[in-house]
Amino acid sequence: MSTQTPILEMSLTELVDGIHQGNLQADVVSQTYIDQALAAKENNSFLCYSDTADLAKASLEHKEKPLAGLPIAHKDLFCTQALPTTCGSKMLAGFMSPFDADIVESTADAGAVLLGKTNMDEFAMGSASENPHFGPVLNPWNHGYVAGGSSGGSAAAVAARMTPLATASDTGGSIRQPAAFCGVTGFKPTYGSISRWGMVAYASSFDQAGPIAKTALDCSYYFDIVNRPDEKDTTCYSAARKATYPALQAISENADNALKFDQLTIGYLPTWLAHEGLDAGVRESFEKTKAEFEAKGAKFVALELPSLHYALAAYYILAPAEASSNLSRFDGVRFGHQCENPQSLEDLYKRSRQEGFGFEVKRRILTGTFVLSEGFFDAYYKQAQKIRRLIKNDFDKAFKQVDLILTPTTPTTAFPLGSAQRDPVEIYLQDVFTIPANLAGLPAISFPSAPAKGMPVGMQFMGQCFDDEKVLAATHLYQTITDWHKASPLAQTSEA
Binding of residue 389 to another protein (CB under 8 A): no
CA count, 13 A, side-chain hemisphere, 364: 29
Q: Does 345 bind another protein (CB under 8 A)?
A: yes
DSSP-based three-state secondary structure for 13? helix
User: Is 90 tagged catalytic?
Assistant: no
Are 334 and 313 in contact by the 8 Å Cβ rule? The answer is: no
* Minimum distance from residue 93 beta carbon to another protein (Å): 13
Q: Taking a C-beta distance cutoff of 8 angstroms, is the pair 150, 212 a contact?
A: no
DSSP assignment of 406-463: EEESSSSSPPBTTGGGS-HHHHHGGGTTTHHHHHHT--EEEEEEEEETTEEEEEEEEE
Residue 178 CA: distances (Å) to CA of 56, 174, 237, 281, 429: 28, 7, 27, 17, 14
From 65, 75, 161, 196, residue interacting with another protein (rule: CB under 8 A): 196
Instruction: Compute the distance between CA of residue 496 and CA of residue 488 in angstroms, rounded to an integer.
Output: 13
DSSP 8-state assignment for residue 49: E
Residue 58 half-sphere exposure, CB side, CA atoms within 13 Å? 17
Number of residues in contact with another protein, rule: CB under 8 A? Answer: 44
User: With binding defined as CB under 8 A, does residue 377 bind another protein?
Assistant: yes
From the list 190, 208, 191, 189, the residue with the least C-alpha distance to 199 is: 208
Catalytic site includes residue 75: yes
Q: Is 150 a catalytic residue?
A: yes
CB 39 within 8 A of CB 8: no
Which residue lies nearer to another protein by CB, 62 or 74?
Answer: 74
Indicate whether 328 belongs to the interface with another protein (CB under 8 A): yes
135 forms beta bridges with: 131
Closest contact distance (angstroms) between CB of 437 and another protein is: 17
Q: Select from 102, 98, 312 the least CA-distant residue to 193.
A: 102
Taking the complex as a whole, the smallest distance from the CB of residue 255 to another protein amounts, in Å, to 38
Q: What is the Cα–Cα distance from 369 to 389, expressed in whole angstroms? A: 22
**If binding is defined by CB under 8 A, does position 384 make contact with another protein?**
no
Nearer to another protein, 183 or 189 (CB): 189
CB of 336 to another protein, least distance (A): 8
Contact status: 204 vs another protein (CB under 8 A): yes
Does 379 engage in binding with another protein (CB under 8 A)?
no
Task: Give the Cα separation of 40 and 405 in Å (integer).
Answer: 36
String marking each residue 80-99 x if it binds another protein according to CB under 8 A: -----x-x----x--x-xxx
Q: Which of 129, 174, 446, 449 is catalytic?
A: 174
Least Å distance, CB 111 to another protein, is 23
Taking CB under 8 A as the rule, does residue 101 contact another protein? yes
Selected from 73, 79, 162, 248, the binder of another protein by CB under 8 A is 79
Q: Which stretch binds another protein (CB under 8 A): 356-364, 373-381, 425-433, 458-466?
A: 373-381
Catalytic residue among 30, 127, 150, 154: 150
Q: Which residues are catalytic?
A: 75, 150, 174
Contact residues for another protein, defined by CB under 8 A: 77-79, 85, 87, 92, 95, 97-99, 101, 196-201, 203-205, 231-235, 321-322, 324-325, 328-331, 333-335, 345, 349, 369, 372-374, 377, 381
